[in-house]
Amino acid sequence: MQDFNDFKEKNKADLNDMGKIHADILATALERAVRSSAENGDAEAQFELGCNYDAGDGVEKDPAKAVYWYRKAAEQGHARAQFNLACSYANGEGVEADQYQASYWFRKAAEGGFVKAQFNYGVRCANGTGVTMDPAEAVQWYRKAVEQGDVSAKNNLGLCYIDGTGVAKDITRGALLIKEAAEAGDAQAQYNLGVRYFEGEGLGRDYAKAAEWFEKAVRQNVSGAAEALEQARRMQKQAEENKRKALEEEERRRRQEEADRHDISMEIGAIIALLITLAGTPLYIWVTDHRSGLFFLVILLVQALSLAAGGIGGCVGLALFGASFTEILGIPCGIAGLIGGLTPIFCYEDPTVYQKARLIVFVLVGVMVLRIIFKKVRK
């Protein structure tokens, strides 16, 4: 007894064979209908029959017959047939190569509004292939193709603006057109956008972005993109290193400026402390001679002025040089002010102590002066 599954598979095979037979019959019927329409002068049928011979679709591949039917349709103004006929002449497929004939039919198709023909004829005008070289006319056809959304035409139009070929030079506008084409996926535009970023034309130099677009072009097998990517990455690495060094140098300069402001505020504070201490000397002598009840009031006044010397000097430094509060309280300023303020209290019975204190203040200020001189000479 025959297994059910075997029976099912057998019938399935029979059905597949029948389906194939029906499909072949249908294809033959359609081919005959198309041929009949083509022979009766239908331009669309002529174009379709030409495509069938061109691709070997339902008929044996025959480029010469494809050209025959393309020409029939092209002579009736069929734009796509005109374009395909132009390609056949350009590539020498089914007919002897003839660049003048190719340009003639490309223009016909372009005038008929076929966007691919507009782009191709623009290229031929730019290069002088099968037609007189005319960059301005090339720009016109690129613009027509761009208006219909052709990204390759947008890339070429961008290059025209960058080079000033056939149009007034406008690097920024050209770069933006190329950027739009690249973002739309045009391989050559992606490579050209990488070049713009690498050279800094119209968009500003950016090796990272250049590498990004070169890499996209590499994925689409654009010639020269791999070498450009390697160079962009090398320059990106060098640019990052230069940027790091520049930041380090800027930080070093900032710290030096802060140190300079700090020194200035301390120096001013120490000098003012010196002046107040010197001014307090005759006052101290008068007080010790008279030993009046006014003594302690005067002592407090001298002390307050001397202790404030560092702060006063720092405030001057703040106003003039932008010193911070921490810098205002510089060690030399504080020491000078402290000595100038406290010594009158402890040297009441011994004037020599006050003289020694003044000497210390003079030494501190002298050190500051020497530092200033040393720094000036070193610079």
Dihedral pair phi/psi, residue 202, rounded to 5°:
85, -25
Q: Please give the residue that has the higher pLDDT: either 261 or 337.
A: 261
Residue 297 forms part of a structural domain: yes
For residue 114, the SS3 value is coil
pLDDT band (50, 70, 90) for residue 152: very high
Residue 190 lies in a domain: no
Q: Report the alpha-carbon distance of residue 368 to residue 150 in Å, rounded.
A: 75
133 assigned to some structural domain: yes
* Mean pLDDT to the nearest integer, 96-108: 96
CA distance linking residue 229 with residue 208, whole number of Å:
10
**Rounded mean pLDDT of the chain?**
76
Q: Please tell me the total count of domains within the chain.
A: 2
Last residue of a domain, one of 117, 149, 181: 149
Q: Give all strands (DSSP E) within 114-220, no chain letters.
A: none
Q: Is residue 184 part of a domain?
A: no
Q: What is the pLDDT of residue 267?
A: 58
What local confidence, expressed as pLDDT, does residue 364 receive? 60
Q: Which of 94, 118, 149 is the last residue of a domain?
A: 149
Position 315 in a domain: yes
pLDDT at site 59? 85
Residues contacting residue 241 through CB under 8 Å, at least 6 positions apart: none
Identify which has the larger pLDDT, 305 or 223: 223
Predicted local distance difference test score (pLDDT) of residue 254 = 83
Domain that holds residue 64: 21-149
Q: Would residue 160 count as lying in a domain?
A: no
- Amino acid found at 160: C
Rg for the chain, CA atoms, rounded: 46
The last residue of one of the domains, among 149, 184, 201, is: 149
Q: Which of 30-34, 195-199, 362-366 has the lowest mean pLDDT?
A: 362-366
pTM value? 0.61
| 339 domain-assigned | yes
- Per-residue model confidence as pLDDT tens digits over 168-196: 999 999 999 999 999 999 999 999 999 99
